Amino acid sequence: MSRSRLLPGLVTAAPALALAFAVHTLVPALPAMTVAVALGLLVANLPGTAVWIAGRARPGLDFAGKHFMRAGIVLLGLKVSIQDILGLGWLAMLLICGVVLLSFGGTYLLVRLFRLPRDTALLVATGFSICGASAIGAMAAVRRIKHADTVLPVALVTLCGTLAIGLLPLLMQPLRLDPLTFGAWTGASVHDVGQVVATAQTAGTAALGLAVVVKLTRVLLLAPVVAIAGLHHRANSSGQQSLPPVVPLFVLGFVGMVVLRSTGWLSEAWLDTDAGFQDIFLGAALFGLGSAVRVRTLLHTGARALTAALAAWLLIALLGLAAALLMTA
């Protein structure tokens, strides 16, 4: 695709991304990634901007939604340190793996129970159980699911993650959770890394630290889950001329970044720079995905999907709470 076709959409994403970061700076409880999705949805449905977004800007926004997402996933690996994860202990790691497996399977069955397509169920289950929109992008690549079919799952995972930011802190006192248990619960059940930070920081630094490590343990499971999905897809696609790789290159890049971070060779300055670039790539990608959502279509087709997503959100919250209580007992 020529640069001239991509430029209008990429230029459109730049001020939206700056605004998302500005809103996050003013209201830290709102993750910039969540704001980016909301801004994309807004400009796609306002009469004054909808024509531009659906027309000249569309190629560049679709490019951002696909390729910038992959770049962001690679850089996400630099957040994950194997030493930090091992520091949780074997019981905690087994509990986190159990939450991911049960929430993945349970979410898939719930979404299928509401008679939604298999691809939608797979993407929602991946996003809810592992790491939000990043996991959805990785699974879509290995299963060769069309970019347009990722829009609804991304919208659902963003909505439910935002719900967690507002609701989970309100439940801390009624459930009589200490900060560490609340942090473990947040890390085990909230979808996106930014949403985990926004939720856990309400209980203090100890809760936030544990929440991030628990969450990044879930993130580390992205590679094996995607690899298993790729193997399953290849086993059931033997008649096709062209098969997708078992693990996409950008997921291998993610694994490589995890290994690099775990060596301890990178300074804090490098890691801070990586975090900035990761936010830029993922923010632009999520703005692009949000801009593909049409509220009229979402209201017409999304009622069952929203009900299924809320049921899955409740399931994961309960599984995460059980794991957190066992982890910190």
Q: Look at residue 244 and tell me whether its pLDDT is greater than 90.
A: no
pLDDT tier, 301 (very low <50, low <70, confident <90, very high otherwise): low
CA distances for 246 relative to 3, 108, 143, 251, angstroms: 30, 21, 9, 10
DSSP per residue over 22-85, as a string?
HHHHH-TTS-HHHHHHHHHHHHHHSHHHHHHHHTTTHHHHHHIIIIIHHHHHHHHGGG--HHHH
Residue with tokens 């997503």: 309
In this prediction, residues 305-328 reach a mean pLDDT of 95
pLDDT at site 241:
54
pLDDT at site 303:
81
Number of Cβ atoms within 10 Å of the Cβ of 49: 15
Q: 22, 20, 16: which is closest to 35 by C-alpha? A: 20
List, for residues 161-177, the tens digit of each pLDDT value.
Answer: 988 999 999 999 999 99
Torsion of CA 290, 294, 296, 297, to 10 degrees: -100
List, for residues 130-154, the tens digit of each pLDDT value.
Answer: 999 999 999 999 998 988 899 899 9
Amino acid letter, 167: L
pLDDT at site 51:
94
pLDDT tier, 296 (very low <50, low <70, confident <90, very high otherwise): confident
pLDDT tier, 295 (very low <50, low <70, confident <90, very high otherwise): confident
Average pLDDT of every residue of the chain: 92
Q: H helices then E strands: how many in the chain?
A: 18, 0
CA distances for 44 relative to 4, 258, 323, angstroms: 21, 36, 40
Q: 26, 126, 14: which is closest to 68 by C-alpha? A: 14
Percent of the chain with pLDDT over 90: 79
Q: Look at residue 1 and tell me whether its pLDDT is greater than 70.
A: no
pLDDT at site 104:
97
pLDDT at site 7:
95
Give CA–CA dist 160/312, Å, rounded: 9
